[in-house]
Amino acid sequence: MKKNIVILGSTGSIGVETLNIISKDKNNFNIKLLSTNKNIKKIYHQAKYFNVKNVIISDHESFLKAKKIYKKTNINFYNSFSIIDNIFSSKELFYSMISIVGLDGLDPTLRIIKYTKHIAIINKESLICGWNLIFKKLKKFKTSFFPIDSEHFSIFSLIGGFESTKIDKVYLTASGGPFLNFNKNDLLNANINQALEHPNWKMGKKITIDSATLMNKLFEVIEAKKIFNLSYSKIKILIHSESYVHALVKFNDGLTKILIHEPSMKIPIHNSIYYNDIMKLKSNHLNFKILNNLNFQRVNLKKFPLIKILKILPEKDSLFETVLVTINDYFVSAFLDEKIKYVDLIKYINLFMRKKCFMKFKKIHPKSINDIYKTRDYVNEKLLNSGI
């Protein structure tokens, strides 16, 4: 019997990698739903190849265009994730991949949980801002969860699930991105093209910029704290330029485990899809050249000052995480649009995170998705009115 699959964000790098894995075992899977924001040409070809009947296109103009261009096909095009509740009526899905970028991924994440046995989430913003809401639904509908970030899947694999009581310390590794070996003067003149030249990973523009600033790693610390129920004091960041070691876990019994794999997202994705099955994945031999020359370093806070934001984050879930995500999104977008320089990107994020009007959210617990979206709107309005 075929296993029903949903991939939300199928035209992005994670969605494409997921489809590549499924294509090699196509007879065992039935894709029930795909989604994209604007890439109608790509999602049409995906739907045609995998015989997918339902497609969500988030951008309204792109949705109307797709309806017109592909009106003679048997594909059902939708413009809202609310349709999920009409397409599915029971826990008929085996696996759902959520790889939508940004906080817009939170609503479909919460919607799909009740219909799927397993859910894999790569959407950082949803996990950071809405983990308490996601976790509540996971428990209610008895849905198993896989964190797909390579670091978090590594921790999950090392501790055998989500049992964190035996953990002494967790170390997340960061490549250092394209600016690891830049000096202060180089950073003053850093441009967009340089920031997008990640040495190890091929990712979307936004997450690549986050990797350059190390905001991506700050996000991953928050994710690890929430997902594995740890305190911030138990999570450390190590620079590891080769991206070969993804996580180290030191246990209370004196043992320390590390997890290594080549820098490819196909590995955590494959292992989440086939978690309880034996399905071989072709991979490279161990790289002993790297293993014999591991050179872990602490983060240079003068070069990557955004990591200091960890010191002002509250231990309890709050709307302050939504403030962080929104401020970062705003200024990364401004940088990609060439409205500000790289040094300004760093300066403004640090400056606005400490504004009094935002600090009040440290004490407010998110009770609903509307709380999160209202906070995002409030922060965006303040940022727009700042004139930057």
Question: Which segment of 58-72, 274-288, 302-316 scores lowest on mean pLDDT?
Answer: 274-288
Q: Does residue 199 register a pLDDT over 80?
A: no
Greatest C-alpha distance within the chain: 64
Give residue 37's pLDDT: 95
Task: Tell me the pLDDT band of 163, cut-offs 50, 70 and 90.
Answer: confident
Are 13 and 204 a contacting pair, CB within 8 Å?
A: yes
Q: Does residue 202 register a pLDDT over 80?
A: no
Q: Does residue 280 register a pLDDT over 90?
A: no
CB atoms within 10 A of CB 62: 18
Q: Does residue 276 register a pLDDT over 90?
A: no
Phi-psi region of 51 (alpha: psi -120 to 50; beta: other; left: phi over 0): left
Which CATH number describes the domain made up of 3-147? 3.40.50.720
Q: Residue 78's beta-bridge partner residues?
A: 56
User: Residue ranges of the domains in the chain?
Assistant: 3-147, 174-311, 314-388
Q: Does residue 1 register a pLDDT over 90?
A: no
Give residue 190's pLDDT: 86
* C-alpha–C-alpha distance, residues 83 and 115, integer Å: 13
314-388: CATH architecture: Orthogonal Bundle (1.10)
DSSP state of 165: T
Among 79, 78, 69, 21, residue whose Cα is nearest residue 45: 69
What is each CA distance from 270 to 202, 242, 342, in whole angstroms? 18, 22, 36
Q: What is the mean pLDDT of residues 87-110?
A: 94
**383, burial (CB in 10 Å: exposed 0-12, middle 13-18, buried 19+):** buried
Q: Which residues of 91-121 are buried (b: 16+ CB within 10 A; e: fewer)?
A: eebbbbbbbbbbbbbbbbbbbbbbbbbbbbb
Task: Tell me the pLDDT band of 198, cut-offs 50, 70 and 90.
Answer: confident
What are the tens digits of pLDDT across the range 122-142? 999 999 999 999 999 999 999
Are 82 and 105 a contacting pair, CB within 8 Å?
A: no
Q: Does residue 201 register a pLDDT over 70?
A: no
Q: What is the mean pLDDT of residues 41-63?
A: 97
* C-alpha–C-alpha distance, residues 78 and 23, integer Å: 24
pLDDT, the chain, mean: 94
Q: What is the mean pLDDT of residues 264-293?
A: 91
Q: What is the mean pLDDT of residues 102-120?
A: 96
* C-alpha–C-alpha distance, residues 291 and 258, integer Å: 11
Task: Tell me the pLDDT band of 77, cut-offs 50, 70 and 90.
Answer: very high
Give residue 196's pLDDT: 87
Q: Does residue 288 register a pLDDT over 80?
A: yes
